[in-house]
Structure 1
Amino acid sequence: MIALDVCMNLIEPHRFTPVEAGTTATVTLPSLPRKTHVDVRRITAGLVLACSHFSKDMRQDDIVRRPAGDLLLTFNLSGRMQLVGHNGTAHEIGGGQAWIIRTGGKPLQRIVEKGEGCSNIVIALAMSRLDPALSDQFEKALPATRPLRRLRLPVPGRAELDMLLDERCGPAALLRKEGQCLALVGHALEELSACPGSSVVADHRTLLVSRITALLSERMADTITMPELERVAGMSHVTLNHVFRAETGMTVFERLRMLRIETAEQMIRHTDRSFTDIAATCGFADASHLSNAFRKRFGVTASEWRRRGNKNG
C-alpha cells in the first residue's frame, strides 16, 4: 500500500505507476478514507490499467495531470464525478458512461462530491503505440479545445471486468488483458471515426450491427440473452431489433441462427468432425437439433450434405 504525497492537491499518476509488467500498486491519499484508493497495474509497455474507488464519506477535489502522449479510455462503473478541463469546461461523468480523453499534458480537475462516491476503470495507452493514421484521427477528433468526448461504448459486463481485473499476472494472462484493453480502445476509436465532429458520439447503425454480429460470432456456442445484448448495445431490445432489421433484414436472434447454421454448413462440408461436436461448437443443443435446423434450411440431412460435398471435392 502506497500513501501518495500530494503537493497542492496535484496528482501525477505516472509517478506511481509500476514499471514492471504485471505489477500492481495500490495508492491511497493522505487524510482520505482508506475506501478511497486506486489500484494501478502495468499491463505492458505503454499500457496501464487503473481501477479507482472514491468514498462517499467526504468530498474529494484533485488536480490530475498525465503525460502529453496518453490516450485515456474511462468507464464509470458507479456514482459520478465531475471533470473540468484546462479551458474550464466541466463534464459530468455518470455511472454506466464511457469517455475518451486526450490528456495533452494539461491538468484536469476531478471532483467527487460527498455522499456520491464513484468507481471507475481507466485504460491509459501511449499514443506512440497507435498506427500514425489512428493517432492523427484521435488528435483531430479531440482537439485541445475539446479534449473529452462521451462515447456510446457500453461499460464492460461483470464477466469481462472480472477477467480484466483478476489477479493473474503471468505472460499469457497479461497478453489476454492487453488484448481486452486494445479491443476496447479499438471500439472507442471506431466510434470517433464514425462521428468525428460530434461532441457526443452518436449511434452509428453499421458500426452497431457489426459489433453485435462480432459478439454473436464469438459467443456462438454460448447462451446469449437479450438483456446482455441490450447492455452491450446500450439500447432496448425493441430499438436494437429495429436497427438490426433495418440494416440486415432480420432480428438479432434470426441473425444468430443464420450464423450458427452457416458455420455448421462450412464445418460439415470441409471437416470430418462429428455432428455432435459441430452442434456443440455452433450452439445447437445436440446433433438432432442441428439435423432438424439443417434440413429446414437446406432441404436435406447433414449427412447427405456432407456426402455431396465430398463428391464435389
Structure 2
Amino acid sequence: MSLIEPHRFTPHENGHAACVTLPGLHRDTHVDVLRIGRGLVLAHSHFSPAQRHADEIRRPEDQLILAFNLSGRMVLIDPQGARHEVSGGEGWIIRSGGHRLHRIVEKGDGCSNLVISQSVQMLTPALSHLLDLALPPGAPFRRLRLPVPGESALEHLLDGRTTPAAMLRKEGQCLALIGHAIEELSACPRPGCVTGDTELLVQRLTALLAERLAETISMADIEREAGLSHVTLNQIFRKATGMTVFEKLRALRLEAAERMVRLTDRSLTEIAGDCGFSDASHLSNAFRKRFGSTASAWRKNMRQKL
C-alpha cells in the first residue's frame, strides 16, 4: 500500500496545472490537479477499473475537502476505522486533520471524482468554529445533500483554461460549492443529526434544476440527489413553491427561454435546445399556453415595446 501526499505534487503557483501518474499503475489512472488560488486546489481523479487500488492518503492538517463522485465507487476508511463509500453521484465533506486515510477502489469498479480542497486557515473564525462542531476529530466525514455539479458546471471547471479571467471564474465556482456545503452543515452542525431545513433543500434542488435545463432529468435522479422519495419531495416543493418538482422544472425552462427570446437574436431552435424543449414547435406551444402567443410573436411584440 503506497502513501500518497497530494500537497507534494500540487503546483506551487496559482493557475498552474499538473497531470499526475504513479509508477506501476494503469495508464488510465491519473489525477489532473489545478491550483486555483491561495489554499484552494481543484483535482479530477481517474482510477482505472483494470486493477485494484489501495492507498494511504495524507493531507495537511488544516485542509477541508469536498469530494464529488462522478462515476464508479471508492471506499475511504477514516482514522477511527469507519468505512465511507463514495459512489452514486454523492458529495462528501471531509476534515483531514493531518491523519492518514485509506482509499480502496476495487478492480472492476473504477472511479472518477471531483475534489476541491480548501485551507481552513482561509476561512473566518466563525466558519472554523462551525467546522470544529460539524467535523470533529472523531467524525471527520459527512455526506452532503449538495448535488454533484452538473455537466455544464463540470465542463467549465475542467475546460483546461488558465487565463486570469478563467481562473477567477473557477475560483468563484469552487468557493460557491464550499459555501453551499458549509451552509448545509450550519443547518445541522452536530454529527449524526438530520437537517430539517426544507427551504435550503428547495434552494439546492432548484439550483440543480436551473443548471441542468438542457439535460434529460428523471425523478429517480432527483430522488438520488436529495435522498428523499418523490412523494416527499413533491410535498416539500408544493408547500414552498406551489408546484411539484417537475412543474418547477418546466417553469424554470420557460423563464430561461423567455429571457433568451426577449433579449437575444438566437434562433428558436437553439433556444429550445438550451432550455430543454424538444424543438422550436414545442417551445412555441409552451409559450402559447403561458403567454397567449407563440415564441416568435412574443419576440416581435417585445421588440415593438422597446
What TM-score bracket applies, with the shorter chain setting the length?
Answer: 0.7 to 0.9
Q: Secondary structure at the residue paired with 1:18? A: coil
Determine which of 145, 150, 160 is the counterpart of 2:153: 160
Judged with a 3 Å threshold, the aligned counterparts in structure 2 of structure 1 residues 196 and 260 are, in CA distance, closer, same or farther, namely: same
The structural deviation recorded for 1:167 is 0.8
Residue type of the alignment partner of 2:135: L
Judged with a 3 Å threshold, the aligned counterparts in structure 2 of structure 1 residues 174 and 200 are, in CA distance, closer, same or farther, namely: farther
What is aligned with 1:306?
none
What is aligned with 2:236?
243
What is aligned with 1:116?
109
Q: 8 Å contact 2:147–2:208 — kept in the other structure?
A: no
What is aligned with 1:100?
93
Residue type of the alignment partner of 1:109: H
Alignment partners' CA distance in 2, 1:97 and 1:288: 37
Range that drifts further, 76-85 or 43-52? 76-85
Consecutive unaligned residues of structure 1, counting only runs of 5 or more, are 1-7, 268-273, 297-313
Paired residues, number: 290
Residue type of the alignment partner of 2:218: P
What is aligned with 2:27?
34
Alignment partners' CA distance in 1, 2:285 and 2:15: 46
Residue type of the alignment partner of 2:31: V
Q: Does 1:10 align with 2:3?
A: yes
Alignment partners' CA distance in 1, 2:253 and 2:25: 53
Residue type of the alignment partner of 2:126: A
Q: Does 1:141 align with 2:139?
A: no
The structural deviation recorded for 1:108 is 0.8
The structural deviation recorded for 1:89 is 2.0
Q: Secondary structure at the residue paired with 2:218? A: helix
What is aligned with 1:191?
184
Residue type of the alignment partner of 1:24: A
Deviation string 1:185-208 (CA, Å, 9 cap, x unpaired) is: 112112211222243755641111
Q: 8 Å contact 2:66–2:115 — kept in the other structure?
A: yes
The structural deviation recorded for 1:168 is 0.8
Deviation string 1:102-127 (CA, Å, 9 cap, x unpaired) is: 00111111122222221111100111
Alignment partners' CA distance in 1, 2:65 and 2:206: 27
Instruction: Report the aligned-residue RMSD.
Output: 4.0
Alignment of 1:157-306 (within 5 A): 157-199=150-192, 202=195, 204-214=197-207, 226-227=217-218, 230=222, 233=226, 237-252=230-245, 293=290
Judged with a 3 Å threshold, the aligned counterparts in structure 2 of structure 1 residues 74 and 201 are, in CA distance, closer, same or farther, namely: farther
